[in-house]
């Protein structure tokens, strides 16, 4: 047994020592290719780039002049916009509560002591999910129509409604918080939360934010 452990440790060290130079070599190649590309683009687009540098301040001045002509936001618009910015903060709570409720209900399905934690997680998540959806709508006020934003809005609304319904169910019938139907609903809700998280990341970082 000791010999097997030593062999496994040796293989792990050997694989790590082999992978580090390879990774460093790949990183060096990437940096070299990037430097060559920047060098070539500098020679090919030197004159246009210089002209763009002179044009950019004028373009910025035009944008500032255009924004100055627009009417200022009212106090209500500014208040709603500020409240909507709390969406990225509040949204983390239902994102955590519902998967945690599913995990707790799964491992403690036949244990009576797990009833209270499951009920708390479902009720807490259901109370914050509609609030998170509402803040998301406020945060998107004034944004241009976009398919990603549309899906993100309505999927979040569905998650908020389903979460609130599960919270009422768990509050009124705590003996069914680990039933098969409740666990199926929590599974669907958790899957929807995962998809919703992808859309939220795509809106902030682009659709390729999860590319390898």
- Residue 174: per-residue pLDDT: 85
Return the axis-axis angle of helices 180-205 and 92-107, rounded to nearest 10°. 150
Q: Which two tokens stand for residue 184?
A: 């199926």
Using the predicted structure, report yes or no on whether residue 7 has a pLDDT greater than 60. no
C-alpha gyration radius of the chain: 26
**Which stretch, 54-58, 174-178, 185-189, has highest mean pLDDT?**
185-189
Residue-wise pLDDT for 144-161, tens only, equals: 778 999 999 999 999 999
pLDDT tens figures, 48-95 = 444 444 444 333 433 444 445 556 768 887 888 889 999 999 999 988
Structure confidence at residue 171 as a pLDDT band (50, 70, 90): very high
The confidence band for 115, taking pLDDT boundaries of 50, 70 and 90, is: confident
pLDDT computed for residue 195 by the predictor:
96
Q: Tell me the pTM.
A: 0.62
Residues with Cβ within 8 Å of 106's Cβ and at least 6 positions away in sequence, in order, are 183
Per-residue pLDDT, 22: 39
Terminal alpha carbon distance of the chain:
38
143 pLDDT tier (thresholds 50, 70, 90): confident
Question: Residue 184 pLDDT > 90, yes or no?
Answer: yes
pLDDT at position 68: 53
- Ranked by mean pLDDT, the top range of 3-7, 55-59, 128-132, 136-140 is 128-132
Cβ neighbors of 183 (< 8 A, separation 6 or more) are 102, 105, 106, 109
Write down the pLDDT at residue 25: 40
* Mean pLDDT value across residues 88-106: 92
Q: Can you give 53-69 as a three-state secondary structure string? A: HHHHHHHHHHHHHHHHH
């Amino acid at each position: 047994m000791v010999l097997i452990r030593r062999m496994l440790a040796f293989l792990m060290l050997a694989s790590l020592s082999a992978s580090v130079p390879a990774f460093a070599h790949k990183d060096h190649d990437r940096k070299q290719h990037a430097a060559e590309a920047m060098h070539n683009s500098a020679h090919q687009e030197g004159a246009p780039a210089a002209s763009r540098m002179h044009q950019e301040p004028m373009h910025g001045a035009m944008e500032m002049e255009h924004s100055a002509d627009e009417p200022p936001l009212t106090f209500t618009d500014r208040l709603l916009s500020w409240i909507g910015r709390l969406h990225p903060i509040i949204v983390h709570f239902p994102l955590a509560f519902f998967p945690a409720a599913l995990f707790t209900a799964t491992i403690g399905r036949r244990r009576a002591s797990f009833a209270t934690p499951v009920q708390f997680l479902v009720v807490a998540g259901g109370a914050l999910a509609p609030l998170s959806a509402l803040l998301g709508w406020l945060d998107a006020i004034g944004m241009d129509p976009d398919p990603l934003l549309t899906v993100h809005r309505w999927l979040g609304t569905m998650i908020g409604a389903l979460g609130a319904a599960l919270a009422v169910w768990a509050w009124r019938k705590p003996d069914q918080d680990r039933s098969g139907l409740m666990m199926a609903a929590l599974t669907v809700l958790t899957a929807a939360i995962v998809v919703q998280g992808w859309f939220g990341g795509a809106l902030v970082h682009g659709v390729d934010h999860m590319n390898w």
